[in-house]
């Protein structure tokens, strides 16, 4: 099996690429990215024994896949490299089976390091954005770089009212995000560097390559469906999103083949849709993406979201 488009690296401080013989034992790579929960990954290996008698399986004996090892996952499509994961191995399991054993290696993104120790710390008279900055500052040494929205959580509270942390740093930052109608996520930007975003839902910027449906040979998604829910309005920066005076949350879900799409769809960014008619065509926010990579396929399941029916742009 060939995983020429995937690079996997592991290590304690400075991960290095897995050897070729280890890469040949990879069955699948899955990465889940969302704008709410921490990102996660699972790599499935074939747990083959060595031709010579050894005390342990070669995959385990090397220590490269042990818990707390850092993992980098990147993919290259159409000459462009996308960093999917800078994470930490949290669970390793050996699963015997009739066709041989497998070794699933599971973990979370690097914000896992922020969730190890609970602290009790006072933050008197500090706005929430300053508290978040203070919580993130101690993780620069592992490549977590704060990217904060200064318009969110800037209110300075009464100095006599104390905000106290009685949780881990990750739980604190997530709690303050929820209190301000904001998002918090950590995503890799390169080998060993990560953007820790805290702020309003990032619904601006240049859209990703268009998703096309019902357009014959130009169709580049395997499936795409939509739903409009009047009972579940979506909030962006604490404001209900809707069209025509109605609080309608519109969602989309689908699956694409990366080789047909010729790009890697990423979450927390915008994308255009065409071929679904004027009601559902136009600009969408990519809420989550699940990458499933195997020897001969690279599929992505995705969730889209926007406030209201009808396109807001004249052409796609």
Q: What is the pLDDT of residues 204-260, one digit of tens each?
A: 899 999 999 999 999 999 999 999 876 655 555 455 554 443 457 899 999 999 999
DSSP structure class, residue 201: -
**Is there a contact between 266 and 195 (Cβ–Cβ < 8 Å)?**
no
pLDDT recorded at residue 2:
44
**Is there a contact between 247 and 240 (Cβ–Cβ < 8 Å)?**
yes
- DSSP bridge partners of 78: none
Q: What is the pLDDT of residues 263-313, one digit of tens each?
A: 999 999 999 999 999 899 999 999 999 999 998 899 999 999 998 776 665
DSSP structure class, residue 243: B
CA 281 to chain CA centroid, nearest Å = 25
- Residue 307, helix vs strand vs coil: strand
Residue 57 has pLDDT above 90, yes or no: no
**Is there a contact between 30 and 42 (Cβ–Cβ < 8 Å)?**
yes
Q: Give the full edge-to-edge strand order of the sheet including 193-199.
A: 144-148, 193-199, 183-190
**How far apart are the C-alpha atoms of 159 and 225, rounded to whole Å?**
50
Closest CA to 312 of 272, 276, 265, 268: 272
Contacts of 257 (CB under 8 A, 6+ apart): 220, 222, 297, 298, 299
Closest CA to 276 of 235, 191, 219: 219
Residue 118 has pLDDT above 60, yes or no: yes
Angle at 45 between CA 258 and CA 76, to 5 degrees: 30
**How far apart are the C-alpha atoms of 159 and 33, rounded to whole Å?**
38
pTM of the model: 0.88
Which of these ranges, 14-18, 89-93, 102-106, 160-164, has the smallest mean pLDDT?
160-164
């Amino acid at each position: 099996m060939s995983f020429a488009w995937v690079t996997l690296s592991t290590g304690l401080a400075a991960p290095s690429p897995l050897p070729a013989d280890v890469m040949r034992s990879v069955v699948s790579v899955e990465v889940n990215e969302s704008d709410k929960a921490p990102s996660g990954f699972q790599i499935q290996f074939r747990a083959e024994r060595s031709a010579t008698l050894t005390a342990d399986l070669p995959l385990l004996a090397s220590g490269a896949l042990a818990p707390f090892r850092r993992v980098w996952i990147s993919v290259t499509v159409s000459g462009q490299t996308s960093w999917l994961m800078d994470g930490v191995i949290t669970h390793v399991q050996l699963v015997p089976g009739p066709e041989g054993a497998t070794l699933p290696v599971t973990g979370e993104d690097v914000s896992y390091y922020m969730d190890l120790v609970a602290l009790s710390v006072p933050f008197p008279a500090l706005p929430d954005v300053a508290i978040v900055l203070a919580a993130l500052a101690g993780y620069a040494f592992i490549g977590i770089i704060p990217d904060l929205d200064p318009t969110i959580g800037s209110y300075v509270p009464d100095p006599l009212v104390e905000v106290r942390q009685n949780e881990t740093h990750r739980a604190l930052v997530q709690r303050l995000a929820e209190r301000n109608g904001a998002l918090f996520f950590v995503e890799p930007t390169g080998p060993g560097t990560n953007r820790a975003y805290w702020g309003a839902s990032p619904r601006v910027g240049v859209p990703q390559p268009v998703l096309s449906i019902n357009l014959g040979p130009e169709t580049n998604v395997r499936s795409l469906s939509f739903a409009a829910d009047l009972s579940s309005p979506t909030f962006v920066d604490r404001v209900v999103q809707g069209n025509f005076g109605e609080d309608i949350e519109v969602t989309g879900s689908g699956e694409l083949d990366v080789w047909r799409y010729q790009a890697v769809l990423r979450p927390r960014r915008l994308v255009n849709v065409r071929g679904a008619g004027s009601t559902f065509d136009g600009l969408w926010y990519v809420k989550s993406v699940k990458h499933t990579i195997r020897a001969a396929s690279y599929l992505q399941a995705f969730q889209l979201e926007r406030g209201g029916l009808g396109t807001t742009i004249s052409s796609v």
